[in-house]
Amino acid sequence: MIPEEVIAEIRSRVDIVAVIGQHVGLRKAGRNWKGLCPFHGEKSPSFNVAPDKGFFYCFGCHKKGDVFTFVMELEGKSFTEAAEQLAARAGISVPRLDESPEQRRARGERAAMLEVCKAAAEIFRENLRDRQRGVPARAYLESRGVGDAISERFMLGYGVTDWHSMADALRARKIDLELALKLGLLARQPRAGGYYDRFRDRLVCPVVVPGGDVVGFSARILPSQAPSTPDPRGEPPKYINSLESLVYKKSRLLFGLAQARDGMAAKGRAVLVEGNFDVISLHQAGITEAVAPLGTALTAEQVEQLRRLSGEVVLCYDGDRAGRTATRSALEMLVAADIPVRVVALPDGEDPDSIVRHAGGAKLTELIERATGGIEHFCFEVWGKSRESADAQSRAIDDAGRLIAKVANPTKRDLIIGTLASAMKLDVQVVRKAVARQGQAAAEQGANSSRNARGSYHPNAPSHPNAPSEEPSYSGHQQAESGNSVHSGHAGSAGRFGPGPGTGSGGGSERRMGHAPMPPPPIEEVELLSLLADHPSLLTTADADKAFSLLTDGRLRDMYSAARQGQSMLELAHAHLPQPTADLVLSGKYAAITDPKARLTALTDPLVRRAADSGLRSLGQRLAEAKRSGDRELERQLVAEILSTRK
C-alpha cells in the first residue's frame, strides 16, 4: 500500500495537463484544455482536461478520471505502477505500508524481470544489426517486405545459432541468469550444468505493453535456415514464446498493442489477426490498428482490453478451416461483450500477410473497409452452407441460438433475431425458441458449475463463517494488482454507467412479451453482489476490486462498476437482472453480519478456485494436444505452467 498522504502529494505536484499533453494535442479552452480523445476515434475534440480540478472527461466516450486513471487506462498499468511512474516524474519518494516480505520480494522480482527483458531485447536487436551475425534474419525480413522503420518500431531482433550467446551476453551485463531462466530466455543444461539459449536461429518479436516495458518474447524460426544439429524429436516448433511469469501473462496480452494504440484511436477500431507477422505486415502496409493474440485463442481478458480501447473490432483471420473456426469463436465472445464486430472473409488458403505481399496493402484495406457485420457473416457462413440437409440446418439454428443468447440487451437481441430469421427465411419463432433453448442450457450449465463448486444452494441457508482478511484497507483510487480497471465499466450499460437494458422490468417485461428469459448469473457471483448491496462501503476496497476481476457475468460487472460510481444497487438490480435474482441481491441476508470484510474474502475464495480450475482445464487440454502433436518444447512449457498454477 502507498500512504494516502503520498498519493495526495503526487496528485497535487503532478501537472495533469503536462502528463496528458504527452499523448494528446491539447489547446486552451477557457479554464480548461481540449483535444482529441486518446480512448476512441473522433474528428472533433470532445476530450476535456480541467487542471484546477485535476480531472479529465470525454463527452464522446464518457471516459473520465484523474491523472492516475489516465496513466492506468492509456498505458495498461496497475495503480501502484502508475503512482510510482508519476512519483518519479515529480521527484517524490514512494514508501510502502503494510507490505509483507513476500509482496516486497515479488515487487522486486518483477522490476528485475523487466530489466532482464529490456537487456535481452537490446541484445537481440544488436544481433540483428550485426553485419555478419544478422544476415539470415535481415534476409528473411527483406523477403517478407519488412522495412527498417517497422523493424525498429517493433524492436525486432535475432537469436543467433550459438547455444550460449544470450547467456554470455547477460552474464557480461551482470544479470542474474536464474531470472532469465524463469522468463524462458534460457534453459538449464541437465548434464553439463549451466544454461543454454532457448531462442536460437529465430527472429525475435519482443512483446511490448503500453508504456514501453518489454515483458516477453515470441520467436519465429527462420525457414531458410537448417537446424545447427539434427533434432531427434523432429521439426522444431514454428514459434516459441516466453514462459508465464510475473510479467508475462499470455492470456492478458495482445501482440502489437503498444504499437497499435495510436492507429486504434485514430480509426476507432482494432483489426484482429492471428499471428505476429500478420500484425507486422499490416503495420508495414499502413494498417496500424492491427493486433493479435499471442499464439492462443482469444481470451476474455483480451476481449476486455479491446472493448476498452476500440469502438469496433474487425476480425481478419486466415482463410482456412482453422481460421474460420477461430473466427466463429471470437465472434461469439465479442458479441457477448457487446462489442461492434465485423468480419473479413479472406479467400481459401489466404491470410492477411499473403494478401499484402501478393496484392498489396490497398487490397487488404479495401477488404477491411468492406467487411460484413458479424451477424451477417454468421448467416452466410453457417446458414448459407447448411442447406444440404435438415441435420445441418438444425445445427445451424442451434449455433445461431447460442450466439444470440449471449446478447444481454433484450432490444438488441430482438433485432438480431429478426435479422437472422429474415436471412435464414425462417419464422421468427423458430429462431426465438432456439435462443430460449440455448439460454436455458447455459443457465443449467452455470447452475451445475455452482453446485459443483459450493454444493446445493439454499437461499435461506446460513452464510459462510467469518474468515480473517489479510488485505489492508483501501482508499483513494488504488486498485487490485490484477490490472483490471474499475473505472471503465462494461458493455451493456447505457452511457457506461447509465441504466442498462430492460430498465425497470427486472426481466419481467421480457417474459410477458414472450421473449426468451435471461439466464440467471452464477449463484456464487450473485452472493457477492448481495453482500455489496448490504455493505456498499466495501465497493471502495481492494478486496472488492479483486472479486470484480473474477466476475464472469457481464450484468454483474456492469452493476459493480455503476454502483462504484454512486448509483443505487436497488435500481441496478431491477434494471439488469431477472426478478428472482434481483430479489435475492436485495434480500438483505448479509445486513446483520458484523465483519463484512471477512465475509467478502470468504465469498471471493470460490471464485479464485473456479478461475484456477478453469485455467488448469485449459492447460490440460493444450498439454494433451501438445503430446499428440509431439511438440516436446511446448509440452515442457505447459507442464511448468500447470505446476505454477497449482502452487
Say yes or no to pLDDT of 418 above 60: yes
Architecture of domain 252-372: 3-Layer(aba) Sandwich (3.40)
What are the two backbone dihedrals, phi and then psi, of residue 343, each rounded to the nearest 5 degrees? Answer: -130, 130
Looking at 464-595, list the stretches that DSSP marks H as alpha helix, in order from N- to C-terminal side. Answer: 508-512, 523-534, 542-550, 554-564, 569-576, 579-585
Could you tell me if 322 and 281 are in contact, meaning their C-beta atoms sit under 8 angstroms apart? no
Counting other chains too, the contacts that 56-65 makes at CB distance below 8 Å and 24 or more residues apart are: 56/16, 56/20, 61/37, 61/311, 62/495, 62/496, 62/497, 63/37, 63/39, 63/488, 64/487, 65/477, 65/487
Overall CATH class of domain 101-246: alpha beta
Residue 310: predicted pLDDT = 78
Task: Round the average pLDDT of the chain to a whole number and report it.
Answer: 78
Residue 97: predicted pLDDT = 60
Could you tell me if 242 and 185 are in contact, meaning their C-beta atoms sit under 8 angstroms apart? yes
pLDDT tens, residue by residue, 5-53: 888 888 888 999 988 887 888 888 888 899 888 887 667 788 999 888 8
Q: Domain spans of the chain?
A: 4-90, 101-246, 252-372, 390-445, 466-608
Place of cell 462494461: 490
Residue 233: predicted pLDDT = 55
Residue 217: predicted pLDDT = 96
Residue 646: predicted pLDDT = 64
Measured CA to CA, the distance from residue 122 to residue 126 in angstroms comes to: 6
Angle at 456 between CA 454 and CA 459, to 5 degrees: 100
Q: Do domains 4-90 and 101-246 have the same CATH topology?
A: no
Confidence of residue 386 (pLDDT cuts 50, 70, 90): low
What are the two backbone dihedrals, phi and then psi, of residue 348, each rounded to the nearest 5 degrees? Answer: -55, 135
Confidence of residue 72 (pLDDT cuts 50, 70, 90): confident
User: Which regions of 256-335 does DSSP assign to beta strands (E)?
Assistant: 270-272, 290-293, 313-315
The one-letter amino acid code at 578 reads P
Torsion, Cα 24 27 28 33, to 10 degrees, reads: -20
Place of cell 419463432: 429
Length of the chain counted residue by residue: 647
Residue 459: predicted pLDDT = 34
Pairing status of strand 290-293 against strand 372-373 = unpaired
The residues, ordered by sequence, that sit 6+ positions from 204 with a Cβ below 8 Å of its Cβ are 124, 156, 157, 158, 159, 217, 218, 219
Residue 466: predicted pLDDT = 32
Give the three-class secondary structure for 155. Answer: coil
Residue 205: predicted pLDDT = 96
Residue 89: predicted pLDDT = 85
Give the three-class secondary structure for 415. Answer: helix
Confidence of residue 289 (pLDDT cuts 50, 70, 90): very high
- Residues of the chain above pLDDT 70, percent: 82
Least confident of 35-49, 86-100, 507-521, 585-599: 507-521
Say yes or no to pLDDT of 168 above 60: yes
Query: Quick one: 233 exposed, middle or buried, by C-beta within 10 A (0-12, 13-18, 19+)?
Result: exposed
Could you tell me if 317 and 330 are in contact, meaning their C-beta atoms sit under 8 angstroms apart? yes
Residue 509: predicted pLDDT = 36
In the numeric block, which cell numbers belong to residue 132? Answer: 555478419
pTM above 0.85?
no
Measured CA to CA, the distance from residue 498 to residue 567 in angstroms comes to: 9
- Compute CA distances 395 → 15, 35, 519, 571, whole Å: 58, 50, 21, 39
DSSP for residue 56: E
Query: Quick one: 630 exposed, middle or buried, by C-beta within 10 A (0-12, 13-18, 19+)?
Result: exposed
pLDDT tens, residue by residue, 520-577: 788 888 888 888 888 888 887 878 878 888 888 888 888 888 787 777 777 788 778 8
Measured CA to CA, the distance from residue 258 to residue 269 in angstroms comes to: 15
CATH number for region 4-90 = 3.90.580.10
Angle at 345 between CA 341 and CA 346, to 5 degrees: 135
Higher pLDDT, 290 or 496: 290
Measured CA to CA, the distance from residue 333 to residue 302 in angstroms comes to: 10
Place of cell 518489454: 214
Residue 387: predicted pLDDT = 62
Measured CA to CA, the distance from residue 293 to residue 483 in angstroms comes to: 18
- Compute CA distances 282 → 218, 285, 286, 365, whole Å: 18, 5, 6, 9
Looking at 154-240, list the stretches that DSSP marks H as alpha helix, in order from N- to C-terminal side. Answer: 165-172, 177-183
For residue 390, the surrounding DSSP H or E stretch is helix 390-405
Torsion, Cα 50 56 62 68, to 10 degrees, reads: -160
Residue 411: predicted pLDDT = 76
Measured CA to CA, the distance from residue 643 to residue 255 in angstroms comes to: 26
Confidence of residue 147 (pLDDT cuts 50, 70, 90): very high
- Compute CA distances 27 → 13, 53, 70, 267, 390, whole Å: 21, 17, 18, 22, 63
